[in-house]
Amino acid sequence: MASIHVENVGKIYSGGVRAVSDINLSIADGEFIVLVGPSGCGKSTLLRMVAGLETISEGTVSIDGGVVNDKEPADRDIAMVFQNYALYPHMTVRQNLEYGLKNRGTPRPEIDARVAEAARMLEIAQYLDRKPRALSGGQRQRVAMGRAIVRKPAAFLFDEPLSNLDAKLRVSMRGEIKRLQRRLGTTSIYVTHDQLEAMTLADRLVVLDGGRIEQIGAPLEVYHEPASTFVASFIGSPAMNLMEGELHGDRLAVGPSILNLAGYAPTSGPVTVGVRAEDLRLATSAQESFLLRVEYVEELGSQRLVHGMVGDQPLTVALPLEEALQEEMKLTVEPRRLHFFSRETGKRLTMPGSEPVRSRQVMGAVA
């Protein structure tokens, strides 16, 4: 078990391409951190720098208090689970699990005990003498986890471990990873591009874009108070509606529609307005509202997603099944459910006087 500290870390490839810049991240002992972002955002590079598979161009990574920049992966006391499992195809499952322990000179009885324990925990005992080729994707995934577990490392590093599985298996393996990590209490860093996976697994999320951290925070914090338009559109499904609007005192204009904000306007002038699909309600005829021209409807069973246009901007709203559908619908939203972002920087705008998200995020990072 260990804490991990990433300080001012950057990665520049030999061609001069900058993949990661100025990353600061403190991971507490036993914490489950998920790095999430679109492909090319630098999340895997960051993980691989912690693992020792990429050299660190700038800054330091320390594991359990000691700087590990110049240590071989094997000497960092970490274990890694790869996207394509990376099982040694010519070895049996048992040999795969044993290999790392043997290389470290672990005594035979200890090896046997640890393999047996991991096999029991992961329910792969009956496959121990098979070759990886004879296993299904899910079973291979368990073996890959097993290979990490037997090592009893200071930290687990997961590099998109579930993306090669089919959707159903992914959900069940997700639960299993969470359960195992809770039980073992091992510090974990988990990389994924799937925001749902990130939300469900993480103690804290690190949202990355363009090699920089956009936001760090607990899943719900990130969901409810996205620090930027990027986070707002990346986290949550359907993505948060983002529209161009104009604040005039207490009033918000989006296209032809006007809403009264009852004191919730953080600034004035042009802004990007964000609103989650589930926060929109049908308006009574007396209320101020957005006028939605409906274009098409997605039935999800428990609710329906109605897609349409407000003025010339797209908007999606989640409505209960009871509500009757019409060609044009009037929608409203509680002002405190609205998110405002700067048009120029995309950063969140907060109410003057209220606690800014930015500072909470920094506190979170230190916690």
Partner 1 sequence: MVENRPLLDFLTHLVLITGVAIVAFPVYVAFIASTHGTGAFVSGVMPLLPGTHMVENYSMMWNEGLTSAGAPPLWVMMFNSLWMALIIAVGKIAISITSAYAIVYFRFPFRVLAFWMIFITLMLPVEVRILPTFKVVADLGMLNSYAGLTLPLIASATATFLFRQFFLTVPEEIMEAARVDGAGPLKFFRDILLPLSRTNIAALFVILFIYGWVQYLWPLLITTDSNFYTIVMGIKRLAASADAEPLWHYAMAAVMMAMLPPVLVVIFMQRLFVKGLVETEK
> Binding residues for partner 1, per CB under 8 A?
51-53, 72-74, 78-80, 82-90, 99-100, 103-104, 147
Residue type for position 9: V
Which residue number, 90 or 120, has a Cβ lying nearer to partner 1? 90
Q: Which is nearer to partner 1, 45 or 361 (CB)?
A: 45
Closest to partner 1 by CB, 33 or 51 = 51
> At its nearest, how many Å lie between partner 1 and the CB of residue 300?
37
Burial call 154-166: b when 16+ CB within 10 Å, e when fewer:
bbbbbbbbbeebe
**What crossing angle do the helices spanning 108-122 and 137-150 adopt, rounded to 10°?**
140
Shortest distance in whole angstroms from residue 169 CB to partner 1: 20
Q: Are strands 18-27 and 257-260 parallel, antiparallel or unpaired?
A: unpaired
Q: Would you call the peptide bond into 238 cis, given omega within 30 degrees of 0 as the criterion?
A: yes
* Distance in Å, CB of 101 to partner 1, minimum: 9
Task: In angstroms, give the least distance from the CB of 335 to partner 1.
Answer: 50
Instruction: Report, in Å, the least distance between residue 367 CB and partner 1.
Output: 29
Task: Tell me how far, at minimum, the Cβ of 88 lies from partner 1, in Å.
Answer: 6
Amino acid letter, 309: M
DSSP SS3 for 85: coil
- Quick one: 85 or 340, whose CB is closer to partner 1? 85
Are 309 and 271 in contact, with CB atoms under 8 Å apart? no
First to last CA, the chain: 17
The least CB distance from residue 119 to partner 1, in Å, is 17
Alpha-carbon Rg of the chain, whole angstroms?
24
Closest CB to partner 1 among residues 99, 264? 99
Q: 87 vs 349, which CB is nearer to partner 1?
A: 87
Give CA–CA dist 112/89, Å, rounded.
Answer: 21
CA dihedral of residues 283, 284, 289, 292 (deg, nearest 10): 60
Strand-strand pairing, 58-63 and 204-209: unpaired
- Evaluate the CA torsion angle 192, 194, 200, 206 in order and state its sign: positive
Residue nearer to partner 1 on the CB measure, 110 or 298: 110
Token pair of 224, please?
């409810």
